[in-house]
Structure 1
Amino acid sequence: MTDSSTAPPGLPSLHWGWILLAAAGTFALTMGVRQTMGLFLGSLNSSTGLGLANISLAFAFGQLWWGLTQPFAGALADKLGAGRVLLTGMALVALGTVLTPLMSSTPGLVFAIGVLAAGGAGMAGPAVLMSAASRLIPAARRGLATGIVNAGGSFGQFVMAPLAGALTLGLGWASAMQVMGLLVLLALPAAWVLRGNSAHAATAATKPVSTREAIGTALRTPSYLLLAAGFFVCGFHVAFLATHLPGVVAACGLPLQYSAWALAVLGLFNIVGSLTMGWAVGRWRMKTLLSLVYAARALGVLAFMLAPKSGVVVLVFAGFMGLTFLSTVPPTAGLVAKFFGLGNMATLFGLVMLSHQVGGFLGAWLGGRVFERSGNYDLVWIIDIVLAVGAALIHLPIREAPLRRVAVLAPT
C-alpha cells in the first residue's frame, strides 16, 4: 500500500495527508464559526430586543436546517461531485454570517442564521466531507481519517471561540461576527482537493443504485433506524451545549471570559475524543463504543448538576463533555459505511445527520424556552440525562455487519 490516495480517474494522485488537511480544515472553519455563535446570543438579544426565546428559535431552526440540507447535499455530491457542493456551502456560510448583525427581526435572523449560514454549513458539513475523505483515502486508514476530520471541527471551535471573544472586545460584536464569517472563505482551495463523486468508488463489477433505492433499503433496516435514533439524542445534547453553554456559565454567576474558555475547552477535548474514537473504531465494536459515550454523557451531566458551580467546575465539565461531544461521529459514519458501502454514503449519512439535527433543533429551542420560563436550565439537563441513558441502551441491539444486499446496493 502506498501513502497516496486512490485518486479518481483523470485527477492527480494526492498524498492522503493533503486530503485529510483539506477535509479537516474545511470542517474546522465551518464548524468553528457555527459553534461560537452562542457567544453572540446575548448581544443579539440586547441589540434587537427580540427576547431570548425568539433568538433561540433562529438558532434552533439553524440546527434543523443544517440537518435537512445534508441528505440533499450528500446526494448532489454523490452525483455532481463534492467540490461544487463545498464551494456553494462555504459562500453561503460567509454570506449568512455577515448579514446576521444587520437583521433586526425574528424572520430576518431565521433567514441569515437558519437558512443561509446553517444551510451552507450543511453543504460543507460532515456528510460531504467524510464521504469525500472515505472515497479518496485507502481503506486501512478510513477509521482514523473520520476521527481526524471530526477533530478538525473541534479544533476550529477551540481556536475560534477565544478569537471571537478577542474580536468582540476589539471591534464590537457585530464586526467580530462578520470577520468570523469571512474567515470561512479560507477553506475555498479544499473544494479542488476534494472534488470527485461516488462513482469513483465503484468497481467494474458493481454499480451504485439510485438514491431512492438506497434510501428505501436504509429505512427498512432496523439497525440503521436505531443508529439514527441514537444520533437524534446526540444532536439534542450537542446543540444545547453549543447554543446555551455561555448562558449556563452566566447563570452560574461567572464572568464572560469563562463562557469563551468553556467553549474552547469543549472543542479542545473534543479533538482528543475524536482522535481516540477514530483509533478505537478499528479495534472495538462501534455500537459498543457509542453506548459507552452516551452513558458517559449522562453521568457527566448528573455530576455537574450536583457539583458546586465554580470556574474550575465549569471548565472540568466542559472538558469531560468535550471528550464525548462529537466522538459519536466516527463510529456512526463507520456503521453507515459498514452497512451499505461507499456508493451512497454521503446521502445515507446525511439522513442520519438529519435525525441528529432534529434533536439539535429541540435542544437549542428548548434551552431558551425553559430558561425564559424558569430562570434555570435544570429541566433541560434532566431531559438530557434521560435521553442519553435511552441512547446508550438502543445501540445494543444493532447488528454490526454488512447487509447481505450490499453487493447490489452500493459499491465497496
Structure 2
Amino acid sequence: MRSQEDGLRDRVAEFVRTRVMPCEPVLDAGGPHAAAVLRELQARARQEGLWALPLPSELGGQGLPFAGYARLAEAEGASDHGPAALGSASLLDATMLWKHGGDRIRGRYPARLAAGELRACYAMTEPDTPGTDPFATATRAEEQPDGSWRVSGRKWFVSGAGGADLVTVLARTDGEPGDREGLSLLVVPTDSPGFHVVRELPVLGAGGQWEIRFDGVGVAADHLLGGRGQALPIAAERLRLGRTLRCLRWLGQAQRAFDLMCVRACSRTGSRGALAGHQLVQSHVFEALLALRTTRPLVHEAAAKIAAGLDAHVEVGLAKVAAARMLQQVADAAVQVHGAAGLGPDTPLPALLRTGRAARILDGPDELHVTSVARRVLRAYEGGAT
C-alpha cells in the first residue's frame, strides 16, 4: 500500500522531470533569462504545494522532518536546479541563521531566504591554505571599538557567490593561522563596501563557483553567528547536513544516468542487434546497478542518524566517499554506452560525469574522509578493545 510520502515523492519527481529538466539548458546558461525561468518554476512549485518542503514552518516552509525529506531529496536532486526550483536550496543557510543567529539576524534573513527573496552562500576555503585544514584560515576579522568587525581576506570555490545577497564567512577573530581556537562565523551582506566578487571559477568547464575578496568590510556586532570563537561546532553541523544532502542528490543524479543508459541500451541497434544484447553492455548495467544499490543504504543510514540527532561522523564520511565514487562510475558507464552521443550536448551525461568527478574533491576530498573515518573506527580498538 502506497503511503502519503510515496505520493509526495512521485509528485516531486514528476515536477523535476517534466518542468525543471526541460529548462536545464536555459538555467545552465545563467543570466536574466535564466533568472526569469527560475522564478516561473518557483511560482509553479508554490501553486502545486511543493515549495520549501523541508524548511521550518516558522520560516514559511512546510516543516517536513528531515527523515521524511531524505527520500524526496533524491528525486529533487536528479537535476542540479531541482532544489532551487522547489525552494529547498536555502535549507542549510536559512536553518543555520535561524538556529545560531541573534535576534537581528533571525528577524532579517531566514524567512526571506526561505521565501526565495534572498540568496546566501558560505565562504570557508581560501586560495593559499589547504581546504581540508580550517585551522589554517587566514581571513581575519578585527574587532572595532564599537564592537563591530572589519573583515579582510580571500575565499574561493564559494558556491553561488556571484548572485548572493549574503555570505557567511569563516574568519579568524583571535590567534594566528594554525591555532585551533579563535575562529568565528560572520554574516556579511554582499552590498557592503569592500566586498568584491573577484572571478568565476569554472569547474571542468561549468560555472557556479566563485572567488571573493574582503577589503576591510565592516560587519555589525550583531552579525556574529553563534559566539566569538564558536565557528567550528556550527561549521561541523552544517557540513554534516550539507554533505548528506549532496549525497542524496547524487543518488538522484546517478539514477538519472542509469535510466538513460538502460534506455540507450534497449533502443540503440546495430548490425548485431540492440546494445542490450551485448555482454559488455550488460556488465556496465550490472556494475552500475550494484553501485547504486549498495550506496543508497549508506546514504540513508547517515540521513537517519542526522535526523535522530546522533553522532554521524562515520556514516557521513562513508556516504560521501561512496556516493561521489558511485556517481562518477554510473555516469561514466552511461557515457560509454551512449558512445559519442554521451560526450555531446544532447544529453545531461557530460554534466553528470563532471559532477561526479568534482564531488570527489569538493566538500572534502576522498582522502580526508577515508582518513577521518578510519581514525575514528580505530580509536575503538585502542588498548586492546574489541
User: Which TM-score band applies after superposition, normalised by the shorter structure?
Assistant: 0.3 to 0.5
Provide the TM-score with structure 2 as the length reference.
0.34
Structure whose residues are more often strand by fraction: 2
Q: Please identify the structure whose Cα radius of gyration is greater.
A: 2
Structure whose residues are more often helix by fraction: 1
Higher relative contact order (CA 8 A, sep 6+): 1
Provide the TM-score with structure 1 as the length reference.
0.33
